[in-house]
Amino acid sequence: MTSHPPIGVAVVGYGLAGQTFHAPLIQATLGLRLAAVVSSRPDAVHADLPDVEVVPDLNAALARDDIRLIVVATPDALHAEQSIAALKAGKSVVVDKPFAVTLADAEAVAAVAAASPGVFSVFQNRRWDADFLTLRRLIAEGELGEIAVFESHYDRFRPTVTDRWKDKRDGGVWADLGPHLIDQAVQLFGAPLGVYADLQAQRQGATAIDYAHVLLRYDRLRVILNMSHLAAEASLRYVVHGTGGSFVKHGLDAQENQSKAGLRPGDADWGVDPSPGVLTQQIDGETRRTTPTPERGDYPAFYAAMRDAILGKGPPPVTADQALTVMRIIDAGRRSAAERREIAL
């Protein structure tokens, strides 16, 4: 990497995504330089990043020759518009998920990306969760045999509706957390044959979906995705059953909370899973429960792969086609809930 000057990066937006995920990961990646943040809150940015320039709008970042990568970390409604503007300016783009509000907008972004000299990717960071990496290894090693049921949870307890834009976003929790769970399932099993979704606003005063129970149908495999904002006991993460055993995991990956607490990639505890899952197998008629050696979470791998892709040394960490598959499933889920039937992909 020392043979190349660092790639200049601008992060657009400095809310949770920009502050907790993108800025720290970019700064931790050799070969990337956080050159600017687009924000209307320069004091908040400089409190964390005193040496990083704050610019007032996206056009100011696009006009700079020293910035090659634009990271779109703004609210969903701006993702497609800002991604297209950056791609048309010849920049590479990382956009937070979902990378558009509608499937049609997502397809428009992908079409522009295909014709752009820049590299395009969507920030599906939870491919690098510690527990997902562990589960992926167990499946690859055959510890669970043929998977029959894959149940994935991302539950929370937020019973009071707030004025935050996320509590009003189009698609609600299905658009917010659904892309994480969908992308992980597709990474393991490919695209499903059909989607059946039960989506509902359950909290008093809620205008956006805050409950999602979605079945992805494969040939024999069944994938269940569950998201709720009314789960006081919200620790369940995975329940996976196969012909060779079961894997049950509680607790969410630690990297987000570690970043909020001030830890950074490279710190000794970064990515360590504080609550490894349990593997249950029947061996010689006996039930054996073991704790598999957990993988370490590795969000920095996303930006290392993005750097290499910009330098022509590998594919984007998440391709436009992969991101479109996620968007098609989100769209199918919305249609399924509205029509109360399975939607074939």
Looking up tokens 């995920």, which residue turns up?
21
Q: Exposure pattern of 273-294 as b/e (b: 16+ CB <10 Å)?
A: bebbbebebeeeeeeeeeebeb
3 pLDDT more than 80 = no
Predicted local confidence at residue 298, as pLDDT? 98
pLDDT confidence of 260, banded at 50, 70, 90?
Answer: very high
For the chain, percent of residues with pLDDT exceeding 90 = 95
155 pLDDT more than 90 = yes
Beta strands in 22-135 (DSSP E): 32-38, 53-55, 69-72, 92-96, 120-123
d(CA 100, CA 301): 24
Strands 286-290 and 278-283: antiparallel
- The stretch 296-325 carries a mean pLDDT of 98
Residue 215 phi, psi (nearest 5): -105, 120
pLDDT confidence of 152, banded at 50, 70, 90?
Answer: very high
d(CA 63, CA 256): 32
| 33-37, 71-75, 128-132, 162-166: least confidently modelled range | 162-166
pLDDT confidence of 1, banded at 50, 70, 90?
Answer: very low
pTM, entire model: 0.96
C-alpha neighbours within 13 Å on the C-beta side of residue 26: 26
- The stretch 247-260 carries a mean pLDDT of 97
Given a contact cutoff of 8 angstroms between Cβ atoms, the answer to whether 107 and 83 are in contact is: no
Q: Report CA-CA distances (Å) from 61 to 13, 38, 53, 107, 118.
A: 12, 7, 10, 25, 15
- The stretch 108-136 carries a mean pLDDT of 98
2 pLDDT more than 80 = no
The structural domains of the chain, with segments of one domain joined by +, span 7-123, 126-297+329-344
Q: Give the H/E segment covering residue 137.
A: helix 130-140
Taking the CA atoms of residue 228, residue 230, residue 235 and residue 237 in that order, the dihedral angle to the nearest 10 degrees is -10
273 pLDDT more than 90 = yes
Q: What is the residue-averaged pLDDT of the chain?
A: 96
Beta strands in the chain (DSSP E): 7-12, 32-38, 53-55, 69-72, 92-96, 120-123, 147-153, 194-200, 211-217, 222-228, 236-242, 245-250, 278-283, 286-290, 343-344
264 pLDDT more than 80 = yes
Strands 194-200 and 278-283: unpaired
- Region of residue 223 (phi > 0: left; psi between -120 and 50: alpha; otherwise: beta): beta
- The stretch 167-173 carries a mean pLDDT of 86
The one-character DSSP state at 248 is: E
Nearest to 184 by CA among 130, 108, 235, 148: 130
Predicted local confidence at residue 164, as pLDDT? 81
pLDDT confidence of 126, banded at 50, 70, 90?
Answer: very high
d(CA 169, CA 183): 20
Question: What would the CATH number be for the domain defined by 7-123?
Answer: 3.40.50.720
pLDDT digits (tens, 9 = 90+) for 183-194: 999 999 999 999
- May I ask the CATH architecture of the domain 126-297+329-344? 2-Layer Sandwich (3.30)
- The stretch 115-119 carries a mean pLDDT of 98
Predicted local confidence at residue 170, as pLDDT? 81
